[in-house]
Amino acid sequence: MKDAEPIIRIRGLRNQFGDFVVHENLDLDVFRGEIIGVVGGSGSGKSVLMRAIIGLGKPAAGSIRLLGEEVSTMSDAKRALIDRRCGVLFQNGALFSSLTVAENVAVALTEHHDLDADIVNRLVMLKIALAGLPLDSAEKFPSQLSGGMVKRAALARALALDPEILFLDEPTAGLDPIGAAAFDQLILTLRDSLGLTVFLITHDLDTLYTICDRVAVLANKRILVADSLDVVEKFDEPWIQQYFQGPRGRAARRATETHPAKQSAGT
Amino acid sequence: MSESGSAHIVDDGRRITIEGDWTLEHVAHLSAVCARLQRTPGEAARIDARGLGRVDTAGASFLLDLAGEDPQRIDVADEATRKLIAAVSKAENAPPAKPRRKDRGFVASVVNIGAALEAFWKNLVALVGFIGLILAAFARSALQPRLWRMTSTVSHIEQTGLNAVPIVALLCFLVGAVVAFLGATVLQEFGASVYTVELVGYSFLREFGVLLTAIMVAGRSGSAFTAQIGSMKAREEVDAIRTLGLQPVDVLVMPRVLALLVSMPILTLVGMLAGIIGGAAVCVFTLDVSPLMFITRLHETTTVRHFWVGMSKAPVFAFLIAAIGCLEGFKVSGSAESVGAHTTSSVVQSIFVVILIDALAAIFFMEINL
């Protein structure tokens, strides 16, 4: 799988705000069908990296190839086509607060495809069920949902157009451990069944140990290492050692060693 | 564009073969294909999807339609597709929600009218209650200077008063000029064009000065109060104030009410002066009345009681605009749309109340010969 053309290929990326450089000479490859976890300290620019990849932020230098197309020089028409192949779950859900959950999911379907109302409704219900939401929440407004349900509703919206790549910005932040574990399993199931590629920003060590195929560590303005957890854990860098050898890191690893929840990807 | 999916019945209806791409972009066509095939009942039909091209959740959903929602009846070429179909099948078997029915008939419109009336009544009760709350807060803090929020109040005076001076002055100047024009044109026919001076003086001192200012303030500051408090409410900041042992009425409402109580009379004075100056400008340029003559005539014919009639309404309007603006802010719930809806409602209500009270006051002052 890994010898194929990467689905996201970043070379020499530089992002800066004024004089403040966030990324410098950053390289990263993401391959089709994998779940890559991006970790880094607060303020290390994880979200900035994600925004640069999906074209919401313009990098100062470097090249980002997304699905084989250069992001910065893409035409608007091309951009719209590529956008449809990406699903994004923002940190706080970013659900449209004046629309119900069902209408939130339907937006992309009705805007991009000329479909009958009952087909749209049927697909919307399918996505809502796939995201693990009870169907009676479809008519609720985002303000009536709990934190975990907002994340699931946002996931349903991200899945609306059957994307090839799913970008998740801290999907389990603010969820209780049971909810977070269920969300992890949901992402794993979706990846295995829909063949998604998942770009996952997280602080949640349990998530890293449970579902990620590879982990990319963002520190010192670049990706220090991007590899399987076994390799990353042993990487000789103080921040990484602190991150994975701290009490939380050790606990998370112990948990996966005793309950190997990770399922092999069948793709 | 890829090849749209298709399905064919083979072996006398015992097997359906699937070809092409079953994806979202072909959904309309796939829906038609499925509807056509389902009209010819094939009970034991197996779905042979080994020739399937690309497939996504939408396509899988229609494949399951053909198979009577039984994933076991679909033969697929690879494991990934089987997993996809299994996941979709599982999602589709989730318990269905109760269908929601929307009635748009006669009964529904009667219900709407009733609901609107009830909402109006509740609004009124809430406003009266809120005014009581503000008055109680006034009484509580009046004797305790420690509780006066000077910084906040002064800041609001700047925003609602000082910053509004140019627009209020300009607006009143223009309306003053228009009134003088109309007056001059009509009164000229009676040879009484010099009465334009009284027309401008009376109208601005008694009515227009305070009314125009109140409408400007309602649009400018009342809406701002609603939006400020509303977004705080939506982000649970109002609840945070409560948990810190503070009263939202003291912290958020009192400074705004006090600020408008100070700003409105000053703005009203500015508005009256600007309106009279606008009228004077027209008189000077079209009626050959010198500025000195204008002032002398105004002085001779217009007594100061007109000024007090107008000015007495300013604090009342200020209080009501601030109360409605803040109350609408507290009614905001959750969404961004709610902030917008309540801001609109705040402006409409304030202007309505201001004009209503102005009309009642005009009758009242006329009856007592003021």
The Cα–Cα gap between B268 and B311 comes to 7
B115 domain-assigned: no
Q: Tell whether B334 lies on the interface with A, counting CB pairs under 8 A.
A: yes
- Domains for chain A: give ranges and CATH numbers: 8-85+163-258 (3.40.50.300), 99-152 (no CATH)
Cα angle at A159 between A158 and A165, to 5 degrees?
Answer: 80
B109 domain-assigned: no
- In the three-class reduction of DSSP (H, G, I as helix; E, B as strand; rest coil), residue A31 is classed as coil
Inter-CA distances, B222 with A190, B211, B231, Å:
50, 15, 14
Residue A75's pLDDT band (cuts 50, 70, 90): confident
B343 domain-assigned: yes
Q: Domain check: are B219 and B298 in the same one?
A: yes
| Helices (H), ranges, chain A | 46-53, 76-84, 101-112, 117-130, 147-158, 177-194, 205-211, 229-234, 238-245, 247-258
B103 domain-assigned: no
pLDDT > 90? residue B314: yes
User: CB of B254 within 8 A of CB of B138?
Assistant: yes
pLDDT > 70? residue B205: yes
How far is the alpha carbon of A193 from chain B, nearest alpha carbon, in Å?
A: 4
Q: Domain check: are B19 and B128 in the same one?
A: no
Q: Domain check: are B238 and B303 in the same one?
A: yes
pLDDT for res A264: 43
Q: Domain check: are B23 and B127 in the same one?
A: no
Q: Tell whether B235 lies on the interface with A, counting CB pairs under 8 A.
A: no
Which CATH number goes with the domain that contains B72? 3.30.750.24
Of A112-116, B205-209, B313-317, least confident by mean pLDDT is A112-116
pLDDT for res B272: 96
Q: Domain check: are B81 and B169 in the same one?
A: no
- In the three-class reduction of DSSP (H, G, I as helix; E, B as strand; rest coil), residue A267 is classed as coil
Q: Domain check: are B229 and B341 in the same one?
A: yes
Express as a percent the part of chain B with pLDDT over 90: 51
Residue type, B144: Q
* Number of domains comprising chain B: 2
Q: What is the mean pLDDT of residues A23-52?
A: 87
The Cα–Cα gap between B102 and B5 comes to 36
Please identify, among B50, B72, B92, the residue that sits at the C-terminal boundary of a domain: B92
Please identify, among B73, B92, B111, the residue that sits at the C-terminal boundary of a domain: B92
Q: Domain check: are B145 and B86 in the same one?
A: no
Residues of B with CB below 8 A from A141's CB?
334-335
More confident residue, B100 or A198: A198
Please identify, among B71, B92, B113, the residue that sits at the C-terminal boundary of a domain: B92
Residue B261 falls in which region: left (phi positive, over 0), alpha (psi -120 to 50) or beta: alpha
How far is the alpha carbon of B2 from chain A, nearest alpha carbon, in Å?
A: 14
Nearest Cα neighbor of A55 from A208, A187, A182, A167 is: A167
Q: Domain check: are B44 and B132 in the same one?
A: no
Of A137-146, B132-141, B150-159, least confident by mean pLDDT is A137-146
pLDDT for res A263: 45
Is the ipTM higher than 0.90? The answer is no
Q: Which residues share a beta bridge with A200?
A: A37, A168
The Cα–Cα gap between A251 and A244 comes to 10
Task: Provide φ and ψ at B270, rounded to 5°.
Answer: -60, -45
- Radius of gyration (C-alpha) of chain A in whole angstroms: 18
Task: Provide φ and ψ at A94, rounded to 5°.
Answer: 50, 35
CB within 8 Å of chain A, chain B residues 56-85? 56-58, 61, 79-80, 83-84
Q: Domain check: are B324 and B213 in the same one?
A: yes
Closest CB to A267 among B24, B31, B80: B80
Q: DSSP string spanning B288-335? A: ---HHHHHHHHHHH--HHHHHHHHHHHHHHHHHHHHHHHHHHHH--SS
Q: Domain check: are B289 and B352 in the same one?
A: yes
Q: Domain check: are B130 and B29 in the same one?
A: no
B1 domain-assigned: no
B88 domain-assigned: yes
Range of the domain at B267: 123-367
Q: Domain check: are B29 and B153 in the same one?
A: no
